[in-house]
Structure 1
Amino acid sequence: MTATTATSTASVLLPVDGQLRRHQLGAPGEWRRPLQPISSRIAYAAAHVVPKPLADNTPGAPADLDWDSTLAYRHELWSYGLGVADAMDTAQRGMGMDWEATRELIARSGREAAAVGGLLACGAGTDQLADAPHRPGGLQVIVDAYREQIDVVRGAGAQVILMASRALAQTAASPEDYLSVYGTLLAEADRPVILHWLGEMFDPALRGYWGSTDIYSATATFEGLIRQYADKVDGVKVSLLDAAHEVALRRALPDGVRLYTGDDFNYPELILGDGQSHSDALLGIFAAIYPAASTALQRLDAGDDAAARQILDSTQALGRHIFSAPTYYYKTGIAFLAWLNGHQPGFAMVGGLASGRSVNHLCEVFVLADRAGLLTDPDLAADRMRTFLTLNGVS
């Protein structure tokens, strides 16, 4: 099942090379919700958050969420057979979501997941600590901050994802400091966790994570940690946008440790695999393409790898555009697409991040989503796109 070639009756005048040109929308793709659990891959969509339209929503203001819309989006993802990865960077951790709002998000998502039997994993980090180049208490303070958040995730009944820590990146003086912090936490884990390696393209404050800016040295430290605590690691999520590196790491992992791709550029080939191994998925782009992603995984379950690859490939241009540099603003494209599809009342984001992308960038999101069959109600999407353009002086 792919995007159809049919067109809808909706059209929009879009700015192209300084002129307005009419774009005729196509029909939505023939996507299907699964009739049974997806089995060929474990797949999480990293979900975004929706603020109240009349909340402050300016940089530095406390996050004030529209809980109905935020949680309804998670139910939409679960309805397509995907797991939800919550309280991650897609939910604007470190970019507008404060710890108090995040704590409540984890608790609420945990209750909703339990009610429907949805797969849920949540990020545990250290963002309750203020940014500081010299941190009193050193590594112990960081360990304690992680412990606090791990307890919140466990209390919600969710899988723990150990997120990369800005505080640790600022404080650690060597690879051994990373091994000390993560080793302590893994030794205490009562069930396997997911380790998250987020590259600096997603968060410049994480440059040099694992104690080196050299990718091979950093990977050696990472692999050493995983080998030592393989029984405490369910899998690793790697978000470096480097397919060759991911494949090499995937092959080096101990038996039983999964590679959850976080590569929002190269996910089709990584999920399909190379005949020797494949990646599972924990992806921000899945929050934008979830109907197509689910349908592709259903085709994988049915043994139709070619159809699965065709579907995923049809979304790749959209993924690469949404995650284009500066990559850390990718959340803006995901929220914009959610608004176009009627999943939030306004195009608003906590911390003012709705201004993170240009009008031209978001026009391209609109076009590429349409080409991929991911505008589920073309008339609504066209109407909202016209409103967006008018508000931004394009008429």
Structure 2
Amino acid sequence: MTVENSSGDLLANKWISFALENKVKVLRLSLKTISRDHFNLRGIAFCATTLVDLIIFDCEITNCSFMLPALKYLYLYGVCIEDDDFKDLIAGCPRIEQLRIEDPEKLHTIVVSNPSLEIFVVHLPCVNGKIVIESLNLKSLEFISFSMTFCEVEITSITTVRQLTLRDAYDPETLMHFMNKFPLLEKLVIDSFNNIGDVEITSMPTVRNLILCNINVDDDGYVNDGDNEDTPWISFVDKFPLLEKLVIDSCGKLQNLHVSQQNLVSLVLKDSLVADEVKIYSPKLKSLEYKGSLTDFYGIEALQELEFVILYLDPLKLRDYWYSWLRDILESCAHSKRLSLICGIEEVIIFPVEMDDVLPVNGIKNLELEIINCHATTEEISDDLIWLLPDLKTLSLTLGSITEVIESDHHKEMDESIID
């Protein structure tokens, strides 16, 4: 909302007071002046016994009082607030559980000691800043665009932190500092970093869930000497020997990806460029999700516990080698209990008539197929799949927003002939 003049200021202040007096549970303030400056929340008494969530965007907080005994979630984005005013604000929220601070202005020192705080997200862009977290029940930390060079961090309770998220870290030293700081870390998220190969860490056996997004690894200079297949990327992933879930999303410059964690249950590989091959040696893998280029996969057929596979089929161009790749990966996944394919158009899954040398894929009895923009009929799709998947019994076909379950007439006829 844009506030145009002094009468608008008065109206906005009255509206805030009215909302608080009427015992709202959620209050979201996003106010700017007509010149696009911060709207000044000057001298407002934020007193409410029922308010649970408070979200403030693009405002200036000056000389306000706070008494919010029930508040659990506080989100400040682009807020102009000085250290003393922030101290008063956080002191007025004794039961806060989640605190999120992004892009503040004038704020240099953040001190939080609230005993109920469990989740803390911060982006403090100032130079020579300081963050002190004295809360003893802290479970999740997220640092955005952060560097240890510019900001000092003190955390009292490092053994309670189970989840760490690092987004847009400036340097490998910052990543290494935080990754090595929490001895009982279970989930690690790294989002947006130029070269993970520069990050040197020891083994992290406590981490069960690893999510890597928008990360580049310079494997270009890697040479396979026949004995040592490790690339910087493989070496980094191997530092997490007891992983149960691994997500690699929108990462590039991978030469190879070898996954060998023995306890791995779920693997998600989406929109990531793997130049040569993906090898999977994780015998307990139950779930595989893939979206990407025509990468060669090895080891899927040996995964005896594989239950769920979902493939997003979105090739840049439909050429003959696309259909060969699709046929091979379907064969590798044929033994999974649940196989799902999602594609944009039907041409992705329907093989051209002239490709009569492609061998059918045996063993797939149930298939879930979703085609987002489809011009073919249900009968045309199912008929074209019969020759490719001769063992298919049940097809769950979603065309746009309509889903239909189709039983194969071919298998019905075979069953009836056996009975006769």
TM-score clears 0.5 = no
Higher relative contact order (CA closer than 8 Å, sequence separation 6+)? 1
Q: Which has the higher strand share?
A: 2
As a proportion of its length, which structure holds more helix?
A: 1
TM-score w.r.t. structure 2 length? 0.29
TM-score by length of 1: 0.31
Structure number with larger C-alpha Rg: 2
